Amino acid sequence: MNVYDSIIARSNLYYNQGLECAKLRNLTGAISALRKSVHCYKGNIDARNLLGLCYYEVGEYVLALREWVISENLKPEENPAAGYITEIKSDVSRTGKYSQCVKRYNQALEYAKGGSEDLAILQLKKAVSMNPKYLQALLLLALLYVHQGQYSQAKDVLRKVGKVDVNNLQAQIYMEEVKQAMALKTSRGKKRNVSDDSVEYKSGSDTIIRPAYFKDNATISTIINIIFGIVMGFLISFFLVVPGVRRHATADSAAKLVEANNKISTKNVAIRGYQEQIDELNKKIEDAEKNSSKSEGSMNLYKGILKAYIDFESGEYEKAGEALAKVDDSKLDKDFKKSYEKLKKNVNDRYLRILYKEAARCYNQSELEKAIETFETITKIDEEYGDGDAMYFLAQSYRINGDSQKAIMLYQRIINKYPDTYKARNAQRYMDQLKNQ
Partner 1 sequence: MINFEEELKKFKPSLEVDQAEQAIYSQELDDMTDLLQKMMQEASKRNR
Q: Three-state SS for 326?
A: coil
Q: Any contact of residue 38 with partner 1 (CB under 8 A)?
A: yes
C-beta separation of 120 from 143 below 8 A: no
Instruction: Pick between residue 88 and residue 166 the one whose CB is nearest to partner 1.
Output: 88
Angle (CA) 338-341-342 rounded to 5° is 90
Burial 378-407 (b: 16+ CB within 10 A, else e): bbebeeebeebbbbbbbbbbbbeeebbebb
Segment holding 78, helix H or strand E: none
- Is 125 among the residues that bind partner 1 (CB under 8 A)? no
Nearer residue to partner 1 within complex by CB, 157 or 372: 157
From 6-14, 229-237, 277-285, 301-309, give the range in contact with partner 1 by CB under 8 A.
6-14
Q: Which residues contact 257 (CB under 8 A, 6 or more apart)?
A: none
| Residue 146 beta carbon to partner 1: minimum distance, rounded to whole angstroms | 7
Please state, in angstroms and rounded to a whole number, the distance separating the CA atoms of residues 296 and 248.
70
Name the residue nearer to partner 1 (CB basis): 159 or 345: 159
Tell me the one-letter amino acid at 144. Answer: L
Residue 99 as a binder of partner 1 (CB under 8 A): the answer is yes
Q: Which residues pair with 199 in a beta bridge?
A: 210
Kindly write out the interface string for residues 301-340 of this chain, putting x where it contacts partner 1 by CB under 8 A and - elsewhere: ----------------------------------------
Q: Which of 17, 95, 150, 300 binds partner 1 (CB under 8 A)?
A: 95
Identify residues 47-66 at the interface with partner 1 (CB under 8 A).
Answer: 59-63, 65-66
Minimum gap (Å) between residue 190 Cβ and partner 1: 22
Using CA atoms, how far apart are residues 129 and 107, in angstroms rounded to an integer?
A: 16
Examine residue 174 and tell whether it contacts partner 1 (CB under 8 A). yes
Number of residues that bind partner 1 (CB under 8 A): 41
Residue 426 touches partner 1, criterion: CB under 8 A:
no
| Under rule CB under 8 A, residue 10 binds partner 1 | yes
CA 428 to chain centre: 96
Chosen residue from 128, 146, 390, 394 binding partner 1 by CB under 8 A: 146
Of 106, 167, 207, 300, the residue at the interface with partner 1 (CB under 8 A) is 106
* Alpha carbon distance 132, 124 (integer Å): 11
Q: Is 140 in the site for partner 1 (CB under 8 A)?
A: yes
| Cβ atoms of residues 399 and 375 within 8 Å | no
Radius of gyration of the chain measured on its C-alpha atoms: 68
Among 139, 308, 359, 395, binds partner 1 (CB under 8 A): 139
Among 30, 45, 53, 143, binds partner 1 (CB under 8 A): 143
- Residue 57's closest CA among 127, 134, 160? 134
Which helix (H) or strand (E) element contains residue 366?
none
Nearer to partner 1, 41 or 385 (CB): 41
Say how many C-beta atoms besides its own lie within 10 A of residue 315's C-beta: 10
**Which residue's CB is nearer to partner 1, number 19 or number 63?**
63
Q: Which is nearer to partner 1, 94 or 345 (CB)?
A: 94
379: β partners: none
Binding residues for partner 1, rule: CB under 8 A, are: 3-4, 7-8, 10-11, 38-43, 59-63, 65-66, 69-70, 95, 98-99, 102-103, 105-106, 109, 112-113, 136, 139-140, 143, 146-147, 170, 173-174, 177
